Structure 1
Amino acid sequence: MEVLIMAGQLILGLSILVGLHEWGHMAAAKMFGMRVEKYFIGFPPKIFSFQKGETEYGIGAIPLGGFVKISGMIDESMDTDAMSKEPQPWEFRSKPAWQRLIVMLGGIIVNVVVGIFIFIVIAYNEGDRFLSSAEVNKYGIVAGELAQEIGLKTGDKIVKVNGKPFANFSDVVSSEVFLGSNSSYTVNRDGKEIEIDIPNNFIEKLSDPEEKGNFIRPLEPFRIGELVPGLPAEKSGLKTGDKVVSINGTPIRFFHEMQAELQKLKGKSATLVVQRGNEQKTIPMSITDEGTIGIMSESLLNYTTVDYTLGQAIAIGTQDAFGVVYNNIKGFGKIFRGEVSASKALSGPIGIARMFGGIWDWARFWQLTGLLSMVLAFMNALPIPALDGGHAVILSYEIVSGRKPSDKFLENAQKVGMVLLLGLMAFAIFNDVWKAVF
């Protein structure tokens, strides 16, 4: 079921973004009087289509893209027969270069606008909820295996990031830290300050969603939050608001301590002592084979909540949207410098689906859809033949030089671009499968 939910979110998100991207091309083309023959979400074979005016609108069976067929334009269809005829007034090739450039940039512009809009709405509706550095450092951090690899320990208090104090715990695990070079933490350990260097290729290990949660998190005192119906916690009489004092005599103060103790007791029985109001209760219960009892924890740390005005949301949402592009540029920089391998950094459809997760969470869905909209704009802007950016470079050359490249050159450039893109897609899919299996 989780696989179907992942796939459903991926298909819906990509269909929205690709549909809007191709609509951007179509709207610009129609604005300048160009004939749009086809507008499809998904690639052939065709599932459904209808004709309206000069344009056939349809849905393809392969939901990982889409296309617009504009008369007189050399594209992935490679319709060279049509290109051998005399140009017609309604064709792409008959229009001025500046109009053709706007058509090619139409999809990128729409994706940028959509991405910014999504991030603005998220900022306005949700505001921000975070842990301050002072609140985290009441108790320090839980250091997972990856954190321990670089020298962090549970109980460390991070006081500086890259030599500077921080206000928000999210700054500790931000892209500035992992996509930058020579990053470091300054930690307070037993009253002494220690520098912890972060390897430049550390982002490779954090690229796997399962590993990312194995880095650091705050040490959190907790109480029982929501109970999952039908699982041991509810069946045994545990209640929302209870505080776990011990499990089989082992004292419990922080949530990670309870998790660790339950993992030792998979499939066994345990005795929990909980604080309920002014009295302690002893509750026997069974532990699932996964080492869980069916609760949601409620942190007793004090989170700071900030609501944004519309003006603030516009500024913050725009900044967050373009931050995605900036992070992609920095990520490619790490690949080109050899600090990160492409196989670790790049993800295809399977990797993206795993980012959505196996639970349908609309807040997460729109967050990732906004991110993908900006990534789609960035990737399409790359100066690779067959991508919008490649067409834009050629058209910019034509505008500056006044000389239009030959149709033969454009055909060959399109072929080279298609080979590169198909190779990249094959690599991404194979890489996803390899990481999932091995």
Structure 2
Amino acid sequence: MTALLYVLGVVVFVAAILVSIGLHELGHMIPAKAFGGKVTQYFIGFGPTVWSRQVGETEYGVKAIPLGGYVKIVGMLPPGADDLGEVEHDENGERVLRVRKSNTGMFTQLISDARAAEWEHVKPGDEGRLFYRMAWWKKVVVMAGGPTVNILIAFFLFWGVYATYGNPVEPNVEPVVEEVLDCVVPYSEDGRTCEPTDEVTPAKLAGLQPGDEFVAVNGRPVTSWEELQDQIRSNSDGEVTLLIDRGGEQLEVTTNTIVTARPISEDPTDETLTQVGFLGVQPTVDGLVHGGPLYTVRDMGDKTVHSLQALAQLPVKVWGVAKAIVGVEERAADSPVSIVGGGRIAGETASTDLIPNDSKIAFLALIVGGFNLFIGLFNFVPLLPLDGGHIAGALYEALRRGLARLRRRPDPGYVDVARLLPVAYVVASALLVMGVVLIVGDLVAPVDTGF
């Protein structure tokens, strides 16, 4: 049964990521078509084609490697002035622009070949539908549509979990009685049942009840469990006067604390025992925070800050994973993971007996939401071949044309993103290397989930 649940968790995670990829690409394709652009392909995955179907001018399909997706929008790269050939006519007499290849210099050749490959998809009559000829704001909408969809997916997943199950944030320990202990059990025997020879706790003798909220200790107000704990521990075996709130009514209770050995270090691994005052109550721990859309937006704002910090440290973190692969150091708990690592975490979450089923569903949704938020933010990085690189190019085009109008100068024309292709290939190569390192790391040195 455990193995079946593990497989189910992996399948659910992978399916959710594939759906997210598909929706991401729809975020590009739908506005591109709405603005009159020509989209010839819509694929989920890379590599060999598993299935495809032609619908109108667009081929829809699935490829063998489910590590991404793409839509082919015709005319992403403009023809360079040096690459344009003569205007020719086809057999039907239509005017056709021919793009010829240049052979001077490695980078020049690379750019020229890319332009030529791009313009092989341009057919007679497509001139007004090319992406590079769209208004700058349309380019921004088209390229921002994909990552924006990922962020919206994350928002709705987070909102759904926070509104129903709750947000499992850092536990909030309140100065409210959850349980009154019947007897004093030595720390070394913690967890056993009471025996006739065990001493009754001061809280039991004082008549404290679950739900009682501590207001003051010996006349000193308390607003947190830590303040209450400090005052009880420092009280030793003296008399203590407790002001409590019980159902809206304030009551004053007097008792004597006793001295017992307990660990008091904030380090959970330090179990050094110290003789301190003891009352005998367990606090109320609220580990779930419920909230609506505004709470979700604020929470996603915090997650965005953390994600951007993680993006800035990504190369260093990936280097740490590489060292974990060869056994130089342990895999850090906060290291990035690939889709393979995400699937493993989802499988372990689904198959563990340590958390109830409703928690499993919530955690799986949060994992998928976290992946979508990171993917969305990552794609906004202003570097080609990421969506943010095209957005940056469109914004630069708008700025350049706007300044030209203000200065009453000629229109400088479209921004030639093809000139940045060498940078795009370097970035793509770096992303490929990091992806391979993370996948290998998730296989041979996975993150310890604690399940």
Matches of 1:342 and 1:411 in 2, distance apart? 29
Aligned residue number for residue 156 of structure 2: 117
CA contact (8 A) 2:318 2:437 kept: no
- What's the CA shift for 1:305? 9.0
Question: Structure 1 167/38 Cα, relative in aligned 2: closer, same or farther at 3 Å?
Answer: farther
Matches of 1:373 and 1:99 in 2, distance apart? 24
Question: Structure 1 127/400 Cα, relative in aligned 2: closer, same or farther at 3 Å?
Answer: same
User: Aligned pairs, how many?
Assistant: 296
Matches of 1:90 and 1:168 in 2, distance apart? 65
- What's the CA shift for 1:13? 1.9
Gaps of 5+ in 1: 140-164, 170-186, 198-213, 217-299
- What's the CA shift for 1:18? 0.8
Aligned residue number for residue 296 of structure 2: 317
Aligned residue number for residue 129 of structure 2: 90
Q: Does residue 46 of structure 2 align to residue 5 of structure 1?
A: no
- What's the CA shift for 1:307? 8.7
- What's the CA shift for 1:43? 1.7
Aligned residue number for residue 41 of structure 2: 38
Aligned residue number for residue 419 of structure 1: 429
CA contact (8 A) 1:74 1:414 kept: no
Question: Structure 1 332/97 Cα, relative in aligned 2: closer, same or farther at 3 Å?
Answer: closer
Matches of 1:38 and 1:168 in 2, distance apart? 60
Aligned residue number for residue 182 of structure 1: none
Residue aligned with 2:129, SS: coil
Residue aligned with 1:134, SS: strand
Matches of 2:296 and 2:447 in 1, distance apart? 37
- What's the CA shift for 1:12? 1.0
Q: Does residue 345 of structure 2 align to residue 330 of structure 1?
A: no
Matches of 1:301 and 1:419 in 2, distance apart? 53
Output one character per residue of 1:124-158: Cα deviation in whole Å (capped at 9) or x when no partner.
2224686534369989xxxxxxxxxxxxxxxxxxx
Letter in 2 for 1:71: V
Residue aligned with 1:346, SS: coil
User: Considering only CA atoms, is the larger Rg found in Structure 1 or Structure 2?
Assistant: 2
Q: Does residue 441 of structure 2 align to residue 431 of structure 1?
A: yes
- What's the CA shift for 1:34? 0.5
| One of 81, 86, 110 as aligned partner of 2:117 | 81
| One of 11, 14, 23 as aligned partner of 2:26 | 23
Residue aligned with 1:357, SS: helix
Question: Structure 1 366/320 Cα, relative in aligned 2: closer, same or farther at 3 Å?
Answer: same
TM-score with structure 1 length normalisation?
A: 0.57
TM-score with structure 2 length normalisation?
A: 0.55
- What's the CA shift for 1:94? 1.9
Question: Structure 1 98/191 Cα, relative in aligned 2: closer, same or farther at 3 Å?
Answer: same
Residue aligned with 1:191, SS: helix
Q: Does residue 142 of structure 2 align to residue 132 of structure 1?
A: no
Aligned residue number for residue 357 of structure 1: 347
Output one character per residue of 1:365-391: Cα deviation in whole Å (capped at 9) or x when no partner.
222112211111111112232111122
Aligned residue number for residue 195 of structure 2: none
Question: Structure 1 382/407 Cα, relative in aligned 2: closer, same or farther at 3 Å?
Answer: closer
Question: Structure 1 340/325 Cα, relative in aligned 2: closer, same or farther at 3 Å?
Answer: same
Question: Structure 1 52/435 Cα, relative in aligned 2: closer, same or farther at 3 Å?
Answer: same
Letter in 2 for 1:315: L
Matches of 2:287 and 2:429 in 1, distance apart? 49
- What's the CA shift for 1:362? 2.9
Letter in 2 for 1:388: D
CA contact (8 A) 1:35 1:71 kept: yes
Matches of 1:385 and 1:111 in 2, distance apart? 19
Residue aligned with 1:51, SS: strand
Output one character per residue of 1:158-178: Cα deviation in whole Å (capped at 9) or x when no partner.
xxxxxxx99799xxxxxxxxx
CA contact (8 A) 2:318 2:336 kept: no
Letter in 1 for 2:147: I
Gaps of 5+ in 2: 79-112, 181-221, 235-262, 271-281, 322-331, 352-359, 402-411
